[in-house]
Amino acid sequence: MTSISVVFLLAFPVCKAVDLEAAGLAFIGFQKKHGKSYDNKEEEMKRAAIFHDNLNYIEEVNAQNLSYKLGVNEYTDLTLEEFAALKLSSTDMSEGMGDGFVAGAGPTTTTLPTSVDWRKKGVLNPVKDQGYCGSCWAFSAIGALEPRYAIATGKLLSLSEQQLVDCAGAYGNE
């Protein structure tokens, strides 16, 4: 473990916002927690550098007291480009879209709150990872339906995206 810390610390000659020793220990903890191992020391140093950059970004964003907080997850050793290539769909979702838009109800006279934190109301499930599925539409639909059902009934369900995809047939599903 000490050799990993030394390798990590040697990878960063200039100290940034995050203390390097703490970042090195955070990287080791990250590797353990997410079962990360790398083919060689060069790859490990590269991943440590990316992790360090992302850790700095997380600290900078969280220091801004925004309405959300960023955190370390299993993707913190990836660049934005690597994450996009791994997780974001390249499927053209406009294919097969028609003029089927249906207008909703007209303007309301009810005064609405400026914001609502649905987490505090207990109507949200944990975030789901679609992995390589490519059917983001199913995750979006289920993610919108679950809290709506919970608001209406008081029961929070975890619905199956896979069942929705299975029922949809071969309409762009991967």
Q: Is residue 97 part of a domain?
A: no
Q: What sign results for the dihedral spanned by CA atoms 118, 119, 122, 128?
A: positive
Average pLDDT over residues 53-81: 93
Same domain, 78 and 139: no
Q: Is residue 70 part of a domain?
A: yes
Same domain, 72 and 6: yes
| Cβ-proximal residues to 149 (8 Å cutoff; 6+ apart), any chain | 155, 156, 157
66 — pLDDT class (breaks 50, 70, 90): confident
| CATH number, domain containing residue 42 | 1.10.287.2250
pLDDT tens digits, one per residue of 10-24: 444 444 445 667 778
Would you say 155 and 138 are in contact if contact means Cβ atoms under 8 Å apart? no
How many structural domains does the chain have? Answer: 2
For residue 106, the model assigns a pLDDT of 64
Residue 132 has pLDDT above 90, yes or no: no
Q: Is residue 113 part of a domain?
A: no
Furthest C-alpha separation in the chain: 65
State which of 70, 87, 104 marks the end of a domain.
87
How far CA 126 is from CA of 21, 130, 157, in Å, comes to 32, 13, 11
Same domain, 128 and 55: no
For residue 12, the model assigns a pLDDT of 46
State the residue for tokens 């809290």. Answer: 147
pTM score of the predicted model: 0.52
User: C-alpha 104: how far from its chain's center?
Assistant: 30
Q: Is residue 135 part of a domain?
A: yes
Range of the domain at 62: 2-87
Residue 137's CB is within 10 A of a number of other CB atoms, namely 18
Same domain, 171 and 127: yes
Q: Which two tokens stand for residue 34?
A: 């997410």
For residue 105, the model assigns a pLDDT of 62
For residue 13, the model assigns a pLDDT of 45
How far CA 135 is from CA of 18, 113, 128, 140, in Å, comes to 37, 33, 13, 9
134 — pLDDT class (breaks 50, 70, 90): confident
Residue 90 has pLDDT above 80, yes or no: no
Highest-confidence segment of 30-44, 99-113, 152-166: 30-44
| Cβ-proximal residues to 142 (8 Å cutoff; 6+ apart), any chain | 128, 159, 160, 161, 164
For residue 6, the model assigns a pLDDT of 43
